[in-house]
Amino acid sequence: METSDKTARQIYQELKANPSRARFGFGEKAILVNVDPQKAYTRTDLFKTAYETDPRQMEYTDTLAKKFRSLGWPVVWTHVAYMASGEDCGVWGTRTDTPDSLQNIKFGSERTEFDDRLDIDRERDVIYCKKMPSAFFETQLQSLCVWHKVDTVVITGGSTSGCIRATAVDSLSRGYRTIVPEECVSDKHESYHFANLTDLAIKYADVLEVQEVFDWLDSRKA
């Protein structure tokens, strides 16, 4: 095993400056999957479970959604919410049982609500309640991808080390070109965040600056 005294941020920045892998690249049509941008994870002023990496994340995510809609491409939002009993969280919810615990993100609670800064079109966009890390796991996301004949999945949200990573791995495993806009994902600690951006970039996805994704979407209008 290689060892290093560098921080996770430094390792990521070095990889970004000198990529070690060819890109998967954009395909012909994409779906935007916004993973759990709900108050439990975005409102740092309200909940201890929330986190912020780039302060403009919600703005960038909204811009992506608008560009996708303008192309007639699908926009998906996921959130987690559980029954009063917590049984639908399964073994994932057994490690802690505090007001901040995962299984205590209950249906109807403020923690389940999407961030107020987001402009969600509740008539056109697709909303899934998921129970596990990946947005693909036991949701209709795969069927939606097939219906829309997409070949590319753009993923935003959090956390980079958890639900973003799980969704990206599942996306690649299903044969999709997978794009993670760097400014549109976040995590609780920079070490987890940058270590997983590095791993995603090497193995599972193209980790790009969000402006490059904007530019590609704009080019599709031509």
Residues recognised as catalytic: 163
How far apart CA 220 and CA 29 sit, in angstroms, is 9
Q: Which is nearest to 164 in space by CA: 16, 35, 78, 76?
A: 35
**Please, are residues 29 and 73 in contact by the beta-carbon 8 Å criterion?**
yes
**Please, are residues 117 and 59 in contact by the beta-carbon 8 Å criterion?**
yes
Tell me how crowded residue 14 is: count the other CB atoms within 10 A of its CB. Answer: 12
- Distances from the Cα of 17 to the Cα of 78, 90, 206, angstroms: 32, 41, 14
Q: Which residues pair with 128 in a beta bridge?
A: 78
